[in-house]
A and B are shown apart, each in its own frame.
Chain A
Amino acid sequence: MFSLQPDEATAVQAVNDFVLFSVAGAGSLLSGAIYAAYGWLVLIYVVSVLVSVLLEVLLVDD
């Protein structure tokens, strides 16, 4: 079994946090543009596509 030094756990966590906050930040910026251009309903549709991607990642990986 592999064990990890705390510093390395922090580094992996930092990579995860960076990806997470960057993508979410970009998503937030994009969502404003979609909402302004096409309205609330289209935004929900776009988000639904992401939801289906999430479900697909989970089901395929399973």
Chain B
Amino acid sequence: MIAEKISWSSSPYWNICLLAFAWALTLSTSTLLTTVGPLSATSLGASKSLAAFTVGVFLIGAALSSVPSGWIFKRYGRFGGFALGCLCQVIGSALGTLAMFTDEIFWLYLGCLSIGLAQGLGQFYRFSAVEITPVDFKSRAITYVLSGGVIAAFVGPTVANFTVNLVSKDYVGTYLVVALFAGLNLLVICLVRFPPAKGRDEKQSPSSSRSISFREAPETRSTWTICSQPLFVISCTIATLAHTIMVMIMSNVSVDMNHNGYSFSNSSLTLELHFVAMFGPGFFTGKLIQKHGSFVVALIGGLIFAGSSVVLAIGTELWNYIVGMILVGIAWNFSFSAGTVMLTSSYRVRWRCCRFVGLRDILC
């Protein structure tokens, strides 16, 4: 049932590459904003506590748009949803620029929120890349999408470095690049041939039947039934704790390095290595989980988190920050990936699907 030819896609490679590129741009926006957000807030006179708010409101934006995202994509199709995301990102970029020119930090937070809304919708590029891929190319599609994270690890901080002083007003260049990324994403989605939007009454869409294979016609449980299972609660707790621990350190590290006299290039290098450590292991974490199980890998992640706390606590030399943040990145990858793979087993689907869903979430 999954091997049928896909008539709407003449060249799967073309579509995979385009969507992997869009996903890399989405993640690059995230790494770019994480690199400059807190420091740009500081330059507008924000206190240390308010500086990290830029990353906070960005994440809240992603949380907010994750709620209606399923509905938006169902109602307006992939193209409509992604285009809306691009629009939010352009608005966010404009608000960030406005904040820099007017010295009004309120616009900066609103801009970060808007870029966060775009990020929530942009999460679906990675689902979409695998969704439109014929079965034979799936593993390749996953690899391409995974590499998006590594690309973003370099692109965000590097672009930040080059654009921070590009325009006479600091950080304006960077916020304009955020709009450029949105523009490129819009160009990409204009080129991709998405599957036709689903009708509401269709039991199973053609695209989903290709991407996920089901054992038999399912009897369905409510979302609440699934989400109140202990396994869902535990897996969600693990992924959420892993992400929160990582974000709490990452939101403040650039400000603290700045406070201790390190240059912007030092802090962006630290973040760059941190992002590489976050996404790089994704190529083998899936295999590690398959071999040793989710709990073992999550536990190793937790222990590496503990190690990173020691390294970050014992000093403020450059190596403390760099090694500490690399460990935070690896620990996040292990425990976050393991948590999301566990999540997939809270809604028991066939192994093929589990593996795919698990892998797709390693990227997030």
Q: Are A21 and B241 in contact (CB under 8 A)?
A: no
Any A CB within 8 A of the CB of B32: no
Residue of A nearest to B46 (CB): A32
The A interface, classified by DSSP as helix, strand, loop or mixed, is helix
Residues of A within 8 A of B (CB): 1-33, 35-37, 40-41, 43-48, 50-55, 57-59, 61-62
Which residues of the other chain, A, contact B144 by a CB distance below 8 angstroms? none
Binds A, one of B1-9, B14-22, B65-73: B65-73
A41 to B305 Cα, complex, angstroms: 15
Q: Are B252 and A35 in contact (CB under 8 A)?
A: yes
Q: A12-B227, A55-B306 are in contact. Are A5 and B218 (CB under 8 A)?
A: yes
Tell me which of B67, B235, B240 has the highest count of chain A C-beta atoms within 10 A of its own C-beta: B240
Q: Are A20 and B346 in contact (CB under 8 A)?
A: no
Q: Are B305 and A32 in contact (CB under 8 A)?
A: no
Which residues of the other chain, A, contact B25 by a CB distance below 8 angstroms? none
CB contact list, B151-178 vs A, under 8 A: none
Any A CB within 8 A of the CB of B214: yes
Q: A9-B357, A32-B52, A54-B241 are in contact. Are A2 and B221 (CB under 8 A)?
A: yes
Residue of A nearest to B38 (CB): A32
Interface residues on B, range: 35 or more
3 residue pairs, one from A and one from B, having the closest CB atoms: A32-B52, A21-B63, A36-B49
A50 to B57 Cα, complex, angstroms: 21
14 A-B pairs with C-beta separation under 8 A: A4-B347, A8-B223, A9-B349, A12-B223, A12-B346, A20-B239, A25-B60, A26-B60, A28-B55, A29-B53, A36-B47, A40-B256, A54-B238, A57-B234
A52 to B302 Cα, complex, angstroms: 8
Q: Are B295 and A62 in contact (CB under 8 A)?
A: yes
A52 to B215 Cα, complex, angstroms: 39
A33 to B232 Cα, complex, angstroms: 31
Which residues of the other chain, B, contact A51 by a CB distance below 8 angstroms? 245, 302, 305-306, 309
Q: Are A55 and B302 in contact (CB under 8 A)?
A: yes
Known: A35-B256, A57-B238. 18 other contacts (CB 8 A): A5-B218, A15-B236, A23-B240, A24-B243, A24-B244, A28-B52, A28-B55, A31-B248, A32-B251, A36-B50, A40-B316, A43-B248, A47-B245, A54-B238, A54-B241, A55-B299, A57-B234, A62-B295
Which residues of the other chain, B, contact A62 by a CB distance below 8 angstroms? 295, 299
Any A CB within 8 A of the CB of B341: no
Q: Are B306 and A28 in contact (CB under 8 A)?
A: no
Any A CB within 8 A of the CB of B33: no
Which residues of the other chain, B, contact A47 by a CB distance below 8 angstroms? 245, 248-249, 309
CB contact list, B200-248 vs A, under 8 A: 203-205, 208, 211-212, 214-216, 218-221, 223, 226-227, 232, 234-245, 247-248
Which residues of the other chain, A, contact B234 by a CB distance below 8 angstroms? 57, 61
Q: Are A3 and B348 in contact (CB under 8 A)?
A: yes
Any A CB within 8 A of the CB of B337: no
Any A CB within 8 A of the CB of B24: no
Q: A32-B251, A43-B248 are in contact. Are A26 and B56 (CB under 8 A)?
A: yes
A8 to B154 Cα, complex, angstroms: 35
Instruction: Type the 1/0 row for B310-345, where 1 means its CB is closer than 8 Å to any CB of A.
Output: 001100100000000000000000010000100100
A31 to B56 Cα, complex, angstroms: 9
A16 to B346 Cα, complex, angstroms: 11
Q: Are B208 and A23 in contact (CB under 8 A)?
A: no
A39 to B244 Cα, complex, angstroms: 18
A37 to B252 Cα, complex, angstroms: 13
